[in-house]
Structure 1
């Protein structure tokens, strides 16, 4: 599971994402899929960069904030520590690892849109091997928007 963040036109957004993967080695590329029903998608479609964050298994409260609340009614960033990166992209300081990627292109995929990213910045190395948050850790969350 990942938290994806975006900023555009003076607005910030972020959501919990389950569909994401590295899609190229040379050049390095990563794709994240955002639901078209999601507030984050509406901000991300105008963003030049997106933030992609890995969470530890014990970061369930952060996952719940970004997975069960909608930015249509809540400013999630008022509740957490974050910093601004490339083009204002919010980076969650509590995430165990993150990168910011420049949006290379977007493509339709049914009820989700893929955002192919070229990494431009990354978090410092996290020592050890933290247990990462997975789908089974959050499958009981109620989505912040209808499916």
Structure 2
């Protein structure tokens, strides 16, 4: 029998009973997101998600043809999968509904492709579309992972039509994924804000959140007022296996915020005369030098890399479905 032929069914399948049988397979819960043609965020709850391949890194999601967002996902070139943790049943229910503004009560940001990545999640996968298929009443999207992250939280589970709790979600001996340090390139009148540590080395100010509003809360509890529309991801990189990775955002200091309001360990340094010998690492020196070059043309790139290498994507900068039934 060829791959395109199908054996005839021996009897009529009861779709209700079949759905119940499918529902015995316990799954996680995800929010799949993308942007529509106008650039507006779109998303829905789904539990039809699986890994496909490590090389290349591929994942698969299914979107029901009856879903309001199906046409958007069918046309998209990128999407994100946000895996939910056990405290996000409410978020799951909102995205499984027909709410007109599902994103009003969640924070999200663009990491690599532009698809919305929820800032609170168990894990996330930012993907470009690798392949598309239509199978029965569903659209199958295969995505190539361009960036991802994970946390040590317990997952939100779903089984037999309801949320379920997973015991021993973190077994003994499990080592959590390394966290990401979030640093900021904050500019004011051609100078960049740097933090001086106890040894006199210069580092970026470290933030407690991935993406702020008008006030950026630093790790020590102090706040810096910035222009929120200027905050964009600038660099993602690892330093060494023993160290955490880095997310670096760029932003501009708000005009009404005076550098005199900063603690003494935070100082502005001219971008054209940075004290390279005091910058804490080779990777940070490279980030600062690249920023100093790119700001002249107001054309920035996103660097994604590790100790063995990476790549820069340039940006032009202007001044439920079957998958889920709650």
Aligned residues: 138
Residue aligned with 1:76, SS: coil
Matches within 5 A, 1:54-133: 54-67=83-96, 69-70=97-98, 74-123=100-149, 125-126=150-151, 128=152, 130-133=153-156
8 Å Cα contact 1:5-1:40 kept in structure 2: no
Structure 1 segments (4+ residues) deviating >6 Å:
none
1:84-132 deviation line (CA, Å, top 9, x unaligned): 2344311111112101110011101211111000000112x42x3x221
Unmatched segments (≥5 aa) in structure 1: none
- 2:276 maps to which residue? none
8 Å Cα contact 2:109-2:118 kept in structure 1: yes
1:56-90 deviation line (CA, Å, top 9, x unaligned): 112111111111x22xx512112211112344311
Whole-angstrom distance in 2 between the partners of 1:109 and 1:41: 13
Selected match of 1:3 from 12, 31, 43: 31
Higher normalized contact order (CA 8 Å, seq sep 6+, divided by chain length): 1
Q: Give TM-score scaled by structure 1 length.
A: 0.83
8 Å Cα contact 1:12-1:43 kept in structure 2: no
Distance 1:122 1:104, change over 3 A: same
8 Å Cα contact 1:106-1:113 kept in structure 2: yes
Whole-angstrom distance in 2 between the partners of 1:144 and 1:65: 14
- C-alpha RMSD over aligned residues: 2.3
- 2:75 maps to which residue? 46
Unmatched segments (≥5 aa) in structure 2: 1-28, 164-319
Question: In terms of Rg, which structure is larger?
Answer: 2
